[in-house]
Amino acid sequence: MTDDSLQFDRAEVAAGAATAGVTCAACKRPIPDQYFSARGQTVCRACRDQISAQLATAAGNLPRAILFGIGGAIAGATIYFAVAAITNMEIGLVAIAAGWLVGRAMQLGAGGAGSPTLQLFAAGLTYLSVAAAYLAVRVQAAVEAFGVTPMKAFSAYSGGSALKVVGLPITANLADLPMGALGILIVGIGVYQAWRMTAKVDLTFEGPFTVGPSESAKT
């Protein structure tokens, strides 16, 4: 069973779910006797037990989730910078993609679960990813426009202060009002995307239900 099978809160219920009571949504095997149900998905007893155990312990995988999240943040910043370099335009919507990458990476790292702690890290990593991309775009522009070295351009933008770099998505957009307001909104949506994806999963199983003779015949 993969981590994707744990995403009950993000799965779409199939139109024929009512008739799929003898097939486990997680392991895809026929269920011969008893099954459990959660959010329209039907699972066998073994998968119910495994999912419950994973959700109970997944929030404890914080170091692994953060490591995966850092990878997602690096990927998001790289994509943002690549799009800007190729198109010579800053496309703020890439910030939303960065939020998705961080959120999805942390989901995988945490085994499909979520928690307030994971949400805080996901939101922070997404924002830092966007800030790093903002800085990289501006350093490249300074290098091309003025012929300075990347280090000198970096020093000019950072001013020796990490806070100045971190605040770049806000200060840069505030300097570009009223259009900058849209940029701030998009950054916020990207951060919220990661926050939403790492929220705690509350999953309650109903059952057990017995597979009836007519249902068993369908297998």
- Is there a contact between 60 and 46 (Cβ–Cβ < 8 Å)? no
Nearest to 129 by CA among 103, 156, 160, 158: 103
pLDDT tens, per residue, the chain with 219 residues: 444 444 544 443 333 333 444 788 888 888 888 889 887 788 898 888 888 777 766 555 789 999 999 999 999 999 988 888 788 676 778 889 999 999 999 999 887 778 889 999 999 999 999 999 988 888 888 888 888 788 888 887 777 677 888 898 999 889 989 888 999 999 999 999 999 999 887 777 887 888 765 444 344
Domain residues of the chain, as ranges?
3-57+203-217, 62-197
**Three-class secondary structure of residue 167 per DSSP:** coil
**Alpha-carbon distance 105 to 122, whole Å?**
9
